[in-house]
Amino acid sequence: MTNQTGTLIEIRNVQELGIHKIEQLMDRYGGFDLVIGGSPCNNLAGGNRRTRNGLEGGAHSSLFYDYCRILDAVRNKAARMRRGGL
């Protein structure tokens, strides 16, 4: 046990997480220390290569691009916060 404290914010549906909500949360908490995202594709390690190829073909593959969208929004907002802007 590390005795760390903080607030864990779990977002159930990242597709509904817009830039406005991201910025609102960052303003509320003063930014984020960590953004965690998992791959919705279970074959990136090669476990089911016969049925799918990379990010293509999976029903949840488009969720990978939502992580990139969210991370980009966090980076942009963090840069503005460092410069002292909103």
CB neighbour class for 64 (10 Å; exposed up to 12, middle 13-18, buried from 19): middle
Convert the pLDDT of each residue in 12-61 to its tens digit. Answer: 888 889 999 999 999 999 998 888 876 555 555 555 555 544 555 555 56
Residue 3 clears pLDDT 60, i.e. is over it: yes
In the structure, what pLDDT confidence band is assigned to residue 11 with cuts at 50, 70 and 90? confident
Task: Give the C-alpha separation, 72 to 38, whole Å.
Answer: 16
CB atoms within 10 A of CB 38: 8
In the chain, where the domains are located:
16-82
Q: What is the dihedral of CA 15, 20, 25, 31, to 10 degrees?
A: 100
Identify any residues that bridge with 56 across adjacent strands, giving them in sequence order: 53
Q: Residue 75: its pLDDT value, please?
A: 94
Model confidence at 69: pLDDT above 80: yes
- How many other C-beta atoms can be found within 10 angstroms of the C-beta atom of residue 31? 13
**pLDDT grade, residue 81 (50/70/90)?**
very high
